[in-house]
Chains A and B, each alone.
Chain A
Amino acid sequence: MRSFQSMLNYFPEEVLEHVFDFLTSHRDRNAVSLVCKSWYTVERFSREKVFIGNCYAISPERLISRFPRVRSLTLKGKPHFADFNLVPHDWGGYVQPWIESMAKGGVNLEELRLKRMLVSDESLELLANFFPNFKSLVLVSCEGFTTDGLAAIASNCRFLRELDLQEIEVEDRRGQWLSCFPDSCTSLVSLNFACLKGEVNLASLERLVARCRNLRSLRVNHAVPIDALQRILMQAPQLVDLGTGSFGQDPDSDSYNKLETAMQQCTSITSLSGFLEVVTARCLPAVYPICRHLTSLNLSYAAGIYSDELVKLIRHCNKLERLLVLDTIGDKGLGVVASTCKELQELRVFPSDIHGGNAAVTEEGLVAISAGCPKLNSILYFCQQMTNAALIMVAKNCPNFIRFRLATLNPTIPDAVTMQPLDEGFGAIVKSCKGLKRLSVSGLLTDQLFLYIGIYAEQLEMLSIAFAGDSDKGMFYVLNGCKKLKKLEIRDSPFGDVALLEDMGKYETMRSLWMSSCEVTLGACKTLAQKMPRLNVEIINDSDQMEASDDDKQRVEKMYLYRTLVGPRKDAPDFVWTL
């Protein structure tokens, strides 16, 4: 034993580094760095990719001093519920200080991935001008920049490989940003601007595609019509991932035939999305030739495709592993998916009518999918109604769920048949799916469900609760039971001070806790903040409800707390109080 120990001590660092190279997951590398001081040192100098789940948990300076060789940074900013308008736009999550520090610190940044962060044109310009090897920019659900910022990236990043914008409202400055890619730019591998509202110069786009021979992924926006798309495809038959843009007009037979021919050339496409403005389903058969190779299909913005055409398309896609659709597909359509897509792993069904008028999927569709698709491990399902019996069946059919998110359009709807709470159904899911990491529940739910979650959801890392539970016990069961819990977000549920303060140390083992429209009081938040200096307890006071000197007994409308090594943040706006 001792000689083994000493062997380890004399293990040359280069060898250790080489071994660590095989560790790709940041969790593994984090674990390795805790083994001993020398491993910590070797690991930190060799780490190239860093993932920071909460940009306020640490500062850019500390990041750079620990990982001076960082080349790829992933940052997440606003709490998840910001996606649903529960957090004011200027709450925070600015990327600017990170980019500034890295520029000053001489970091050789090549890759930046941001989620729910505020990105300004200035930040993008800084990024484009200070990091000569910058290769990859992925922005998801961010905001704050315009096409001018994109123009800076296009003009200055000489080796840009990836520009990927997902679900972002970008202000269109009509500056022809796409035309800013110089003729010398041939390095693009992935370009996704599907979410942009403005026009792009089609000729520039076609030339860009023609000269980037390594282009694998292209997702265009609504401004690219079918004839331009067809010309682009002829230039890029090597594409693996295509976003079709509008796919909109009613093409004359000539354009349509050309499109069909172009599609037939693209034998490598395995991922398809777009169809943003399909006016007539007559264009759809053009994509049938590539359907049999598809592993990923995103039709969740294709509001113009009605159920029967949707189903016809899906019948051709028997290799699908990932499917995103609108609920216009209906239970029957999901039945077709279940019988066609035996390789399906991930399914997302989004509501087509936010007001739930003609919502078209119920528990039947979910059961059908679970019965037909044994490899299913991830689901996001917006539905009109649900039953315990259905959930129990789903749990039995699919014990491999890693992510299970169900949102009933009416958030407190009971079992549609028995009128009971949906506790037993969701309980069955957590009991059966031993690997469940993420869970969102909805419908009429009592503390009983949370007892089940606390007992059975051993691997659960993220839990979203809305309009559920009866008392503090519910929240307590979860905090006490789920040992691996990282993120807990709760809205409109009767959990209060007792639950919040029961186990304050728990929050240091978690990334964050969000509670809005619950029963938590200002006094309890103050107590928590005082006792736990390594937590930031923020009160978001965006509707001017509270005064600073207010009654401690007053209910807090929105509270967000997170562990941090750097104390209260200095960029909090007036309406955010860090206690």
Chain B
Amino acid sequence: MAHENELNLKATELRLGLPGTDESEDMVSTAKNNKRASPESLEDSGSEANSAAKSGDHETSSASKTQIVGWPPVRSYRKNNLQSKKAESETGMYVKVSMDGAPYLRKVDLKVYNGYPELLVALENMFKLSIGEYSEREGYEGSEYAPAYEDKDGDLMLVGDVPWDMFMSSCKRLRIMRGSEAKGLGCAV
């Protein structure tokens, strides 16, 4: 319950940043930074790690870990190049979902789903509505709602037309449309 509240706050938080970015981005840029951490933080992290370990209940959650310079011992080239890939793929994965008429937006992690059916079921549960089944010809005929998404070019597209992998890499945000607007999208022209 508390977790969900936290998510909501984040979704409505006013801040500078690209849509879909979250805390993990900060960690990425810290690691990319070749400058040494200041001596104080280095000592802190060292002793923190030591004392926590000795007390035997060390947690390895990435968000709470202090960055230790040079640990794990991975070459900078590898750190910089592997991480940038991960960061790219992570930007696309958590996307905002808006529903026409809803007071606030939600966020979903596309990586969690193996395909469209799972995603649609999740959206149906999240917004308490029924979307129905996709058909190439009719779109989401029979449903008051149509799931749409904004792609890399900023165009509003119907969810379901392209292969899942392609959808995952091009989807920037989701929008659940309703009523006559949806009808317009859903019909094959």
Using a CB–CB cutoff of 8 Å, the interface residues on chain A facing chain B are: 81, 83-86, 89, 141, 167-169, 195, 250, 277, 279-280, 300-301, 303-304, 326, 350-357, 359, 382, 384, 407, 409-414, 419, 440, 444, 464, 466-467, 491-492, 517, 542-543, 545, 557
Contacts and interface: CB of A to CB of B under 8 A. Distances in A.
B39 A491 contact: no
B5 interface: no
27 contacts: A81-B70, A84-B73, A84-B74, A85-B36, A85-B69, A141-B75, A167-B75, A167-B77, A169-B76, A169-B80, A195-B77, A277-B85, A301-B78, A301-B81, A350-B74, A353-B62, A353-B86, A356-B62, A356-B65, A382-B72, A410-B53, A410-B58, A411-B49, A411-B68, A413-B60, A464-B73, A466-B73
A301 B84 CA distance: 11
B46 interface: yes
A465 B188 CA distance: 66
B56 A354 contact: no
- Among B46, B73, B74, B81, max chain A CB count under 10 A is at B73
B27 A279 contact: no
Nearest to A300: B78
B58 to A, nearest CB: 6
Contacts of B46: 467, 492, 517
A195 B49 CA distance: 34
Interface stretch (B125-133, B137-145, B161-169, B178-186): B161-169
Nearest to A408: B72
B53 A444 contact: yes
Contacts of A350: 74, 78, 82
Contacts of A250: 163, 165-166
B61 interface: yes
A354 B70 contact: no
A168 B82 contact: no
Contact of A407 (B42, B72, B82, B169): B72
Does more than half of chain A's interface fall in helix, strand or loop, or is it mixed?
loop
A303 B77 contact: no
A491 B71 CA distance: 11
A517 B75 CA distance: 20
Given A412-B52, A413-B53, A467-B50, 18 more contacts: A84-B73, A85-B69, A86-B36, A169-B76, A250-B163, A277-B85, A280-B165, A301-B82, A354-B83, A355-B65, A356-B60, A359-B60, A384-B60, A413-B58, A419-B56, A440-B73, A444-B54, A467-B49
Contact of B169 (A85, A279, A382, A543): A279
Nearest to A558: B36
Interface in B35-66: 36, 38-39, 42-43, 46, 49-50, 52-54, 56, 58, 60-62, 65
A355 B27 contact: yes
A557 B42 CA distance: 11
Nearest to B82: A303
B34 interface: yes
A489 B51 CA distance: 23
Contact of A84 (B50, B75, B81, B163): B75
Contacts of B60: 356, 359, 384, 409-410, 413
B10 interface: no
Contacts of B156: none
A515 B50 CA distance: 18
B64 to A, nearest CB: 10
A557 to B, nearest CB: 7
Contacts of A141: 75, 77
B79 to A, nearest CB: 6
A355 B67 CA distance: 8
Contacts of B65: 355-356
